[in-house]
Amino acid sequence: MNDGSADVQATADHAMRRARPLLGTLVEIGAQGVSEAEVSRAISQAFAAVETIQRLMSYHDPASDVSRLNRAGVASITVDPHTWHVLDVARSLSEATLGVFDVSVAPELVRHDYLPKHADFPPPAADASWQHIELQPDWRVRLTRPLQIDLGGIAKGYAVDCALQALSQAGMTAGRVNAGGDLRLFGTRTETIHVRHPRNATQLLPLCQMREGAMATSALYYNSQHVEGRPRSPLIDARTRRACIDASSVSVLADDCIVADALTKVVFAQPECALAALNQLGAYAIVLEAEPGRSGSDARTRARVRRSGPAGWHVVSASEPEAAAA
Q: What is the pLDDT of residue 174?
A: 96
Q: What is the pLDDT of residue 1?
A: 40
| Nearest CA-CA partner of 18 in 38, 52, 36, 44 | 44
Q: What angle do CA 7, 25, 201 make, to 5 degrees?
A: 95
Ranges of residues in the chain with a pLDDT under 50 are: 1-2, 6-12, 226-231, 294-299, 320-326
Q: What is the pLDDT of residue 137?
A: 97
Which domains, and CATH codes, for the chain? 1-59+153-168+180-186 (no CATH), 65-143 (1.10.3980.10), 189-326 (3.10.520.10)
Q: Tens digits of per-residue pLDDT, 125-174?
A: 988 899 999 999 999 999 999 999 999 999 999 999 999 999 999 999 99
Strands (E), the chain: 6-10, 15-22, 25-32, 76-78, 133-136, 140-143, 174-179, 182-186, 191-197, 200-210, 213-219, 225-227, 230-232, 236-237, 242-243, 248-254, 284-290, 303-309, 312-316
Q: How far is CA 176 from CA 15, 36, 51, 84, 222, in A?
A: 11, 16, 17, 26, 25
Q: What is the pLDDT of residue 232?
A: 58
Q: What is the pLDDT of residue 250?
A: 87
Give the side-chain half-sphere CA count within 13 A for 124: 24
| Nearest CA-CA partner of 180 in 287, 46, 47, 22 | 22
pLDDT over 90 for what percent of the chain?
Answer: 56
Q: What is the pLDDT of residue 73?
A: 86
Q: What angle do CA 155, 99, 79 make, to 5 degrees?
A: 40
Q: How far is CA 245 from CA 47, 110, 198, 221, 304, in A?
A: 33, 17, 12, 11, 18
Rounded Cα–Cα distance for residues 230 and 272 (Å): 25
Q: Given phi > 0 = left and psi -120 to 50 = alpha, else beta, which region is 228?
A: left
